[in-house]
Amino acid sequence: MSEKTTFAPEVPGAAPGRGTAGEPGRDPLRRRAGRLAVLAVLLAAITVLDLLVGPAFLNVFDVLGALVAPASADPMVAAVVHAIRLPMTLMAVIVGASLGIAGVEMQTILGNPLASPYTLGFSAAAGFGAAVAILFGLALPLVPALTIPLAAFATAGLASAIVYALAHWRGVTAEVMVLAGIATLFLFQSAQSLVQYMAAPEVLQEIVFWLFGSMLKASWFSVAVSGVILAAGTLALMPDLWRLTALRMGDARAASLGVNVPALRRRVFVIVAVLTAGAVCFVGTIGFVGLVAPHLARMLVGEDQRLLMPASGVCGALVMVGASIASKLISPGAVVPVGIVTALVGVPFLFALIVTGRRRYW
Amino acid sequence: MLEIDSLSVRRGRQPVLHGVSARIAPGETVALIGPNGAGKSTLLKALAGLERAEGVVRLDGQALAAGPRQAIAYMPQDTGAGAALSVLEVVLMGRLEQLGLRVDPALRQTALGMLARLGLAALAHRPVGALSGGQRQLVFLAQTLFRAPQVMLLDEPTAALDLRHQLMVLERVRAEVAVRRAIAIVAVHDLTLAARAADRILCLADGRIIADGPPEAVLTEPLLRRVYGVEAEIARLPSGALAVLPQRALADSAAWSGCA
């Protein structure tokens, strides 16, 4: 070794001599993009599968026929497929994707692997709004069917406004937002329990059914509204993807690279709130998807938000549609509320992920 | 030319920096020294525009507006965050404003070239969480250099490094500064290293600059007694470099509460 005062810049652990020209190791970007494509294909497949399963025990080929050529299909089958199954399945995809994207960005802006739209009280608030609307039998003039979704959307908005206001007042840091969010969660959970306690038994049943989160509440209208919100939210996140990736290096480093961290946090928080409210206001409370999908996506495609954001959406949709299939198979001829099944499917999955994780994903 | 004109920072009512002024010429590497809590990090953040400050900072005669500054790259102390990001991703983000949904292959190639110059090429696709503290420090230095800034502000860049890499990082910074006629201000605790790596030393204590000049003028036994509260010997090595050898801490030092 001839080392005097000059330095052959090399690093222990890095193979010296390699990689001065060209690129050592394979670029994982292509491989990861491939994984995202596989996930998307998987989602398409499982979505079709979800359409084929249902309590009406329709023939698989009849369903496929009704999908491909509705005009020549049995009118009864076509009606079931187009009026019930398609909106339910599409809603599962949209709700799962919305919660997956909302979850991953919530974790990113809060720098916390436990954050999700659920843990910050948005879902509890939506549930409270719906419960109040059900308890008092509220009905909007002209559009009574929209009363409960609107009430849920409004209270979810209120919950996010509380967190936002506290953060605005006390400093837009992850700590303040997490604390404010958890306080909001407990506040609305208590309020929700109070409403349930006060409700008459038959009203209580209706409230509980709403809280369970079920795709049976889906309609073409809800698909359209939630779909537009999902599309708008995704588009709104696009310009910030690299800034969100940079935020993973910590506030100070992101700020030193020119990111206005408080402004980014505020902007993304609002998008996450709208995505979550758009997802749960029609179908009810759905937990766990927003927590588990980001971790799955991160394992598969890494931290680069250009892949992570869509991958988290696809993973969310996969979990949701998978849960939807399970919800139809658990008790033949009936549909168990999917909100119950997501956690049943999700928890063992998360356990497996924790046990088998080979390297640090957070 | 970087001109700092009576820069003051307050935390609540507590002043942290009291009217700091200095002029630093292109091509200069300045070591910023001072005891813990002297305001070194605050000064660097204020220069980077990341801390609300009174006073004016001018670069080539132009007063800089508040907020993040494109020409100035600030490298904070390592907090261990962002473990799952890859080395290449970290370096690329040095030019965040140039990144889009598709990353320009030329930009990517430049980033890989920067990694190669720091001997990190083989680590390009490894997650930074899998690296040692020293390797991480080099990766973030690569990010800072990749920005090709006019002014580099490095907060304790050698804190996690072994001797060899301490020297390597500082030599790399100094070389970059000399070649590009840039400016570097490096906060360091190791005074011998400061003397070796910098053209000039700024000594900060209690938010004020109390000494500014070439290493041999600043690093004196009385100053170390007054600022750090230590009895130290300053030796000149055969190479001509200075070595600061601390002997003992003074019990009744005013160094922590502020010096006269």
Residue B75's φ and ψ, nearest 5 degrees, are -115, 105
Least confident interval from A25-29, A118-122, A175-179: A25-29
* Long-range own/partner contacts, residues A199-202 (CB < 8 A, 24 or more apart): A199/A131, A199/A134, A199/A135
Q: Do B84 and A11 lie within an 8 Å CB cutoff?
A: no
SS3 state at A33: helix
For residue B155, being part of any structural domain is answered with: no
Q: Do A23 and B112 lie within an 8 Å CB cutoff?
A: yes
| Pairwise CA distance, residues A266 & A77, whole Å | 47
* Lookup result for tokens 């409960």: A148
Q: Residue A22: what pLDDT?
A: 43
For the residues of B176-197, what is the DSSP string, one character each? HHHHHT-EEEEE-S-HHHHHHH
Q: Residue B258: what pLDDT?
A: 46
For residue B120, being part of any structural domain is answered with: yes
Chain B hits for A14, Cβ within 8 Å: 119-123, 135
The better pLDDT of the pair A237, B132 is held by: A237
- Inter-residue contact B29 to B184 (CB < 8 Å): yes
| Pairwise CA distance, residues B94 & B109, whole Å | 14
Does position B251 have pLDDT exceeding 90, yes or no?
Answer: no
CB pairs < 8 Å spanning A and B: 137
Nearest CA-CA partner of B139 in B152, B156, B126: B126
Q: Residue A266: what pLDDT?
A: 92
Reported as a pLDDT band with limits 50, 70 and 90, residue A142 is: confident
B130: its two tokens: 């899998």
Reported as a pLDDT band with limits 50, 70 and 90, residue B118 is: confident
Cα of B257 to nearest chain A Cα, Å: 28
Q: What's the pLDDT tens digit per position in B28-44?
A: 999 999 998 899 999 99
**What integer is the mean pLDDT of A146-172?**
90
Does position A2 have pLDDT exceeding 80, yes or no?
Answer: no
The better pLDDT of the pair A11, A289 is held by: A289
Chain B hits for A259, Cβ within 8 Å: 68, 96
**Burial of B107 from C-beta contacts in 10 A (0-12 / 13-18 / 19+):** middle
Does position B200 have pLDDT exceeding 90, yes or no?
Answer: yes
For residue B25, being part of any structural domain is answered with: no
| Pairwise CA distance, residues B181 & B150, whole Å | 8
Give the closest of B79, B101, B132 to A250, CB-based.
Answer: B79
Q: Which residue in chain B has the smallest CA separation from A299?
A: B84
Chain B hits for A248, Cβ within 8 Å: 81-82, 84-85
| Pairwise CA distance, residues A307 & B101, whole Å | 10
At B4, which helix (H) or strand (E)?
strand B2-11
Nearest CA-CA partner of B30 in B7, B68, B1, B52: B1
What total of structural domains would you count in chain B? Answer: 1
| Pairwise CA distance, residues A52 & A240, whole Å | 38
Give the closest of B48, B50, B93 to A242, CB-based.
Answer: B93
Q: What's the pLDDT tens digit per position in B126-180?
A: 989 888 888 888 899 999 999 989 999 999 998 878 888 888 888 889 988 999 9
Q: Do A258 and B135 lie within an 8 Å CB cutoff?
A: no
| Pairwise CA distance, residues A330 & A214, whole Å | 14
Q: What percent of chain A has pLDDT over 70?
A: 91
- Inter-residue contact B118 to B142 (CB < 8 Å): yes
Does position A21 have pLDDT exceeding 50, yes or no?
Answer: no
The better pLDDT of the pair A188, B159 is held by: A188
Judging by DSSP bridges, how do beta strands B2-11 and B151-155 pair with one another? unpaired
What residues does each domain of chain A span? 85-354
- Inter-residue contact A85 to A47 (CB < 8 Å): no
Q: Which residue in chain A has the smallest CA separation from B99?
A: A242
Q: What's the pLDDT tens digit per position in B40-98?
A: 999 999 999 888 899 999 999 888 887 777 889 999 987 777 778 999 999 999 999 99
The dihedral through the CA atoms of B141, B144, B147, B151 has a sign that is negative
Q: Do A28 and B82 lie within an 8 Å CB cutoff?
A: no
For the residues of A67-113, what is the DSSP string, one character each? HH-GGGS-HHHHHIIIIIIHHHHHHHHHHHHHHHHHHHHHHHHHT-T
B207: its two tokens: 């938010």
**CATH number, span A85-354:** 1.10.3470.10
Reported as a pLDDT band with limits 50, 70 and 90, residue A14 is: very low
Neighbours of A275 (CB within 10 A): 31
Does position A34 have pLDDT exceeding 90, yes or no?
Answer: yes
Ordered strands of the B14-24 beta sheet: B14-24, B2-11, B54-59, B62-63
Chain A hits for B108, Cβ within 8 Å: none
| Pairwise CA distance, residues A279 & B205, whole Å | 55
Q: Do B84 and A361 lie within an 8 Å CB cutoff?
A: yes
What counts of helices (H) and strands (E) characterise chain B?
8, 12
With vertex at residue A249, the alpha carbon angle to CA B111 and CA A267, rounded to the nearest 5 degrees, is 110
Q: What's the pLDDT tens digit per position in A64-119?
A: 888 888 888 888 888 888 999 999 999 999 999 999 999 999 999 998 888 888 88
Does position A361 have pLDDT exceeding 60, yes or no?
Answer: yes
B17: its two tokens: 């920096």
Q: Residue A358: what pLDDT?
A: 57
Does position A235 have pLDDT exceeding 90, yes or no?
Answer: yes
- Which ipTM value was assigned to this complex? 0.86
Nearest CA-CA partner of A133 in A275, A284, A279, A287: A284
Q: Which residue in chain A has the smallest CA separation from B113?
A: A20
Q: How far is CA A327 from the centre of its chain?
A: 18
Bridge partners of B4, per DSSP, are B22, B57
Q: Do A24 and B76 lie within an 8 Å CB cutoff?
A: no
Q: What is the mean pLDDT of chain B?
A: 89
* Lookup result for tokens 């690299």: A242
Q: Residue A245: what pLDDT?
A: 96
* Long-range own/partner contacts, residues B114-117 (CB < 8 A, 24 or more apart): B114/B142, B114/B145, B114/B146, B115/B87, B115/B88, B115/B91, B115/B142, B116/A19, B116/A20, B117/A9
| Pairwise CA distance, residues A359 & B19, whole Å | 48
Chain A hits for B154, Cβ within 8 Å: none
Range of the domain at B136: 72-148
Mutation to test the A interface, candidates B51, B72, B75, B90, most A Cβ within 10 Å:
B90
Q: Residue A27: what pLDDT?
A: 75
Q: Residue A9: what pLDDT?
A: 44
Q: Residue A117: what pLDDT?
A: 85
Q: Which residue in chain B has the smallest CA separation from A20?
A: B116
Does position A16 have pLDDT exceeding 60, yes or no?
Answer: no
Polymer length of chain A: 362
Q: Residue B93: what pLDDT?
A: 95
Q: Residue B252: what pLDDT?
A: 67
Nearest CA-CA partner of A115 in A179, A25, A39: A179
Cα of A92 to nearest chain B Cα, Å: 28
Judging by DSSP bridges, how do beta strands B62-63 and B54-59 pair with one another? antiparallel
At A142, which helix (H) or strand (E)?
none
Residue B37's φ and ψ, nearest 5 degrees, are 80, 10
Nearest CA-CA partner of A102 in A250, A280, A339: A280
Q: What is the mean pLDDT of chain A?
A: 87
Return the top range by mean pLDDT from B8-17, B21-30, B156-165.
B21-30
Least confident interval from A95-109, A340-354, B108-122: A340-354
Mutation to test the A interface, candidates B41, B98, B125, B196, most A Cβ within 10 Å:
B125
Neighbours of A224 (CB within 10 A): 13
Reported as a pLDDT band with limits 50, 70 and 90, residue A346 is: confident
Does position A19 have pLDDT exceeding 60, yes or no?
Answer: no
Least confident interval from A88-102, A228-242, B223-237: B223-237
Q: Residue B75: what pLDDT?
A: 93
